[in-house]
Amino acid sequence: MKLNLRGLKLQALKEEIGKLDIPAFRADQIFSSVHGKLAGEIGLIKGLPKELQEYLSRFFAIETLEKILTTTSKDRTEKFLFGAGDTAGRNVKIESVLIKEEGRNTVCVSTQAGCNAGCEFCATGKMGLLRNLTAGEIVSQIYGIITETGIIPTNLVFMGMGEPFLNYAPLMDALEILTDKKGLAISSRKITVSTVGFAGRIKKFADDISSNPNLRNIKLALSLHSTDRGFRETLIPVSKKNTLPEIYDELVYFYRKTGNKVTYEYIYFEGLNDTDNDVKRLAKLQRMIPSNINIIPFHPVDFELKPPLEILNKKINEKIIHSKEKYLLNSKNLLDFIARLKKEKVIVNLRSSSGVDINAACGQLAVKN
Q: Tell me which residue of 155, 158, 257 sits closest to 208, measured CA to CA.
A: 257
Q: Cα separation of 239 and 118, whole Å? A: 10
Q: Which of 63, 78, 95, 265 is catalytic?
A: 95
Residue 188 CA: distances (Å) to CA of 118, 152, 201, 207, 260 = 29, 15, 19, 15, 11
CB 300 within 8 A of CB 318: no
344 flagged as catalytic: no
CB 30 within 8 A of CB 17: yes
- Backbone conformation region of residue 11, classed left if phi is above 0, alpha if psi is from -120 to 50, else beta: alpha
Q: Which of 108, 115, 119, 362 is catalytic?
A: 362
Q: Tell me which residue of 208, 149, 128 sits closest to 368, measured CA to CA.
A: 128
95 flagged as catalytic: yes
Identity of the amino acid at 132: N
Q: Tell me which residue of 252, 248, 194, 183 sits closest to 218, measured CA to CA.
A: 194
- Residues 6+ away with beta carbon under 8 Å from 340: 276, 279
Count CB neighbours of 354 within 10 A. Answer: 21
Q: Tell me which residue of 62, 175, 59 sits closest to 111, measured CA to CA.
A: 175
Q: Cα separation of 164 and 172, whole Å? A: 9
DSSP 359: T
Backbone angles phi, psi at 319, to 5 degrees: -65, -40
**Which residues are catalytic, by number?**
95, 362
